[in-house]
Amino acid sequence: MAVFVLTDASVTLNTVDISSYVTQVSFTYEKDSIEVTAMGNSGHLFTGGLQNLSVSLDVMNDQAAAKTLETLWSATGSGTNTLVIKNLSTGSPNPVFTISNAFLAASTPVNGAVGELAMQSVVFTGGTVVKS
């Protein structure tokens, strides 16, 4: 059985490695279901349509240049973002997921309460993925 514990994910956003700030990553890959049921079928039949992608990240805010706050700020509102996600803690095979043209609708550059770590949760949607 090839199960693993996710302890060392690598996340790159638009060539900036933000891995050391990511506390949670989730990549959902699905395809739209397109009905192809025709006369004579005894049940509904479907085929896969367009990719429907979603990447959610929980990240610690860092205000330095080329860190999380600035990287997410410049990615917000853009549908041309590229994310590269891989798990460094497993052996071979170790797939790399490259998501291109992902859209980030919103970021939260100021988030937290007194004495708490400043973090934000973001969700990228759309685009296409290549698994290598």
Which residues on neighbouring strands pair with residue 73, listed in sequence order?
none
pLDDT digits (tens, 9 = 90+) for 24-55: 999 999 999 999 999 999 999 999 999 999 99
Give the pLDDT of residue 87. Answer: 86
Q: Where are the domains of the chain?
A: 9-36+44-131
* pLDDT-above-90 percentage for the chain: 80
Distance CA 10, CA 130 (A): 16
- Report helix, strand or coil for 22: strand
Q: Is the pLDDT of residue 101 over 60?
A: yes
DSSP bridge partners of 59: 22, 120
Mean local confidence (pLDDT), 6-21: 92
8: confidence class by pLDDT, cuts 50, 70, 90: confident
SS3 119: strand
Contact 51, 58 (CB under 8 A): no
